[in-house]
Amino acid sequence: MSEAVYSVSGMSCGHCESAITKEVTAIPGVTSVTAVASTGLVTIASEQPVDDETVRAAVDEAGYELVGRA
């Protein structure tokens, strides 16, 4: 198992959390996603480490900006 925490800008509510969770969960190998609007952090657990650019693309698709690893 691998875990990574990312900082995401633009999250402000539960809908934001849900949108990011939906997109990031679709990445192959991701087993869980926890997005917290109040902190701007997204924690991703996966079977293998996930490429940062793959996460960036999923966050972009949800309509938010990946700032980087927290």
Q: Is 32 helix (H, G, I), strand (E, B) or coil?
A: strand
Is residue 62 a contact partner of residue 20, using CB atoms and an 8 Å limit? Answer: yes
Q: What is the pLDDT of residues 9-68, one digit of tens each?
A: 999 999 999 999 999 999 999 999 999 999 999 999 999 999 999 999 999 999 999 999
* Distance separating alpha carbons of residues 14 and 54, to the nearest angstrom: 23
Domain boundaries, the chain: 2-69
Q: Domain 2-69 class? A: alpha beta
Integer-rounded Cα radius of gyration of the chain? 10
34 closest CA partner among 60, 24, 58: 24
Distance from C-alpha of 29 to C-alpha of 2, rounded to nearest angstrom: 10
Q: Whole-model pTM?
A: 0.95
**How does pLDDT run across 45-59, given as a tens digit for each residue?**
999 999 999 999 999
